[in-house]
Amino acid sequence: MNGVINLDKPAGMSSAAAVSRVKRLLPRGMKIGHAGTLDPLATGVLLLLIGKATKACETLMGQPKQYETTAKLGATTATDDRDSPEIAAAIQRQPSRGEIEKAVAAMVGVIQQRPPAFSALKIGGRPAYELARQGKPVELEPRSVRIDAIEILSWQWPLLRMRIDCGRGTYIRAIARDLGEALKCGGYLTELRRTRIGRFDISQAVSLEQLNLDGVEPHLQSISSLDAQQSEQGG
């Protein structure tokens, strides 16, 4: 049993918990992992790798990703999402649609992005979020990330819905934060749904409930095309 499951991860569940749920449906000792963590509040495409497909983890994590997200302007949070209390921002006026479009356009390309303080990145061997929860200062250096496109889906103060195409290592909640800073009104993430990783699209994703009903094998997708990509890349 080897292949990839395109799972539609539900909200409120960690990626590790999703892996654990599916592992119970597999034969004892079968290898399983995932490619690309989703925060508990996020939903959508989570690729579960089973058997020999676990070797394709790096290849899959390097694939372009697409998200649909909602940012709330006019406020901030410590975690840059709704997992912590909202802090209202003092703003002089609401940004116009034109100002938002200009700020969004400036974020497309290879940019320097400062990861959220509440992230799993290590500082002195400890996850940054552990230090942040203890109220200790967290200073993470900006990193180069690639934003391929940001499309505004809807805008009505204070909610901005966007579709974002990006590369590996991009924090979508950092985009919401930085957009709020650019517009001088603050911003944070309220909803996040990953709609695609490479060729794996949300329209073909399977729910945990369906996996429980059908079992894993009917929903396994071949890794043959991934093997071909690895060969081309010298992997």
Q: Where are the beta strands (DSSP E) in the chain?
A: 3-9, 32-35, 43-50, 65-73, 75-76, 87-88, 109-113, 122-123, 126-127, 143-156, 159-166, 187-197, 200-201
Among the options 8, 39, 80, 165, which is catalytic? 39
Distance CA 21, CA 175 (A): 31
DSSP-derived pairing of the beta strands 187-197 and 200-201: antiparallel
Shortest CA distance to 32 belongs to which of 61, 6, 7, 3?
A: 3
**Residue 168 phi, psi dihedral angles, 5° rounding:** -60, 140
Q: Residue 184 burial by CB count (10 A; 0-12/13-18/19+): exposed, middle or buried?
A: middle
Judge contact between 204 and 45, C-beta under 8 A. no
Which DSSP string corresponds to 210-232?
A: HHHHH-SGGG-B--HHHHHHHHH
Whether residue 39 lies in the annotated active site? yes
Please give the positions annotated as active site.
39
